[in-house]
Chains A and B, each alone.
Chain A
Amino acid sequence: MKKLLTILSILLVILIAPATVSANEGNEGGKINPKEIIFDHLGDHYGWEVPFMHSVRIPLPVIVKDKEGSWHIFSSSRLMHDAEYEGFAIAKDGQYAKKIVQISTQPDGTKTEYRPLDLSITKNVMALIISALVVMLCAFSVLRWYKKHNMKAPHKATAMLEVVVEFVYYGVIRPTLGAKAHRFAPYLLTVFFFILVMNLLGLIVIFPGGANLTGNIAVTMVLAVCTFIVTNLFGTKHYWKDIFWPDVPLWLKFPIPIMPVIEIFGMFTKPAALMVRLFANMMGGHMIVITLTLLIFIFAAFGVAVTGISTVLSVAFSLFMLLLDTLVSFIQAYVFTMLSTLFISLAQEEGHHEEKTEKLETK
């Protein structure tokens, strides 16, 4: 019970921590701008905020290629507080708001902004690397156990990881892919654990976490594209035949190829659905938690009593939402993996005729 109380109080502190930061952020004009705060938290940054210290950010490397084609690498701390360095600055507003732009002064005195090729290690990229390291740590800890103890079942944390691996492998990959499970298991397990770790790290509000990674469409897009590539690269003849010459009445595919067009369209909608599902779920969860926390500061204008009540309610709801998001993190990682497995297995289908002959041969 005592432990539970400690955990709860820590959770409360964690929940309130970003709220104080955001309150400072939006409060500049004396008024809160919830939309700005929310999108600021969901977006990317060149530094990583530290709890309770709004002006301090953990500097991250900036890598940009300027208009002339030469690379510039420097610490993001040089661009903090609207500073300009080597002609680069973070745009405040306009088309490239909050991104690094190259500022060049024209002869007539006006300043033009040029968006350079930006490969900076931003907060999201850093979180990405941390997530990857965490996944590797997990996988290799299980591996080390096997190297050391051979056939024995792992204990403690390793056992938990192994249970998850087993859950995904025996729950999803093996039943769906059957004999081809070995071939695709590495990809699918990597995807599952990477998404899961990114989701869970995103829920932690302070340093190693806090980045809205899987709620960023670039990340989910890459994952969906990878599934697309794996699905189509290893697709069987039968799969391709089903796309371009499906078993439908002739008039549906010739002279106007209605079915092939639909099938080709389906090839792209499948990963697109994967991309949007993960993105929307995770972003939505983050957004709700932030909004609930922000409610405290919005209601602060109405006096102490209202603030008190809204604080209790907001914290309770935020806690509930965070717990729900923990569940959603797992479910979304699972769903992404499951659907990827399904798409891959659909592309692995052999023709029925071939199957029959195979069976006859074995008989």
Chain B
Amino acid sequence: MELFTPDFGLIFWMFVVFALLLFLLGKFAWPVIVKSLEERADFIDKGVEYAQNAKEQLDNAKSEAAKYIQEAQKQQAEILRDAAKMKTQLIEEAKDAASKEAKKVMDAAKLSIEQSRKEAELQFRNEVSNFALNIAEKVMRQNMKSESAQSELVNKLIDEVEANN
């Protein structure tokens, strides 16, 4: 059968054509095509990875921003609270200082009042004693006009001294 007996001419040409084809394609075409395919596959893979990373980062950034905002709010609240606290403290301090000052003034006033009262007392006493002395002098002058009254008094005084001793 002709079909099962390979023809030499055809084998020869098949070898030649196939070898030529293999050489040309193997040298110039396939390596470049395969390389391009792989490079593109790589490129796409990297792109996908990059996109995923970017998305992840974006998500992270969002949550981070939310966290920052929350923190800021917390800080704000704290600051406000501090301010309120400081205000009351200031007022308290001011009150304290005022009351202290008032007390000081009061004390000073009291002291001066006391002093003036003492001075007045002293003056009053002096005046009273002067007055009493004057009265006593006048009374004495009246009583001691007679000689007998004078000696009587001297005797009386000496008696008193003697009685004391």
Contact = CB atoms under 8 A, between A and B. Distances in A.
B21 A169 contact: no
Contacts, number: 117
A218 B6 contact: yes
A72 interface: no
Given A182-B34, A187-B22, A194-B21, A218 B14 contact: yes
Contact of B7 (A44, A166, A189): A44
Interface string A210-239: 000000111101110010000000000000
B3 interface: yes
Interface string A144-187: 00100001010000000010011001100000000000100111
B30 A186 contact: yes
Contact of A146 (B13, B20, B22, B32): B32
Interface in B22-71: 22, 24-26, 28-34, 36-37, 39-40, 43
A129 to B, nearest CB: 6
A217 B14 contact: no
A153 B40 contact: yes
A185 B30 contact: yes
Nearest to B39: A151
Contact of A226 (B2, B13, B18, B24): B18
Interface residues of A, number: 47
A177 to B, nearest CB: 12
Contact of B33 (A143, A218, A222, A283): A143
B14 A136 contact: no
B122 interface: no
A252 interface: no
Considering the complex of A and B, which 4 residue pairs feature the smallest CB-CB distances, nearest first?
A186-B26, A218-B6, A139-B29, A186-B30
Interface of B: 2-15, 17-18, 20-22, 24-26, 28-34, 36-37, 39-40, 43
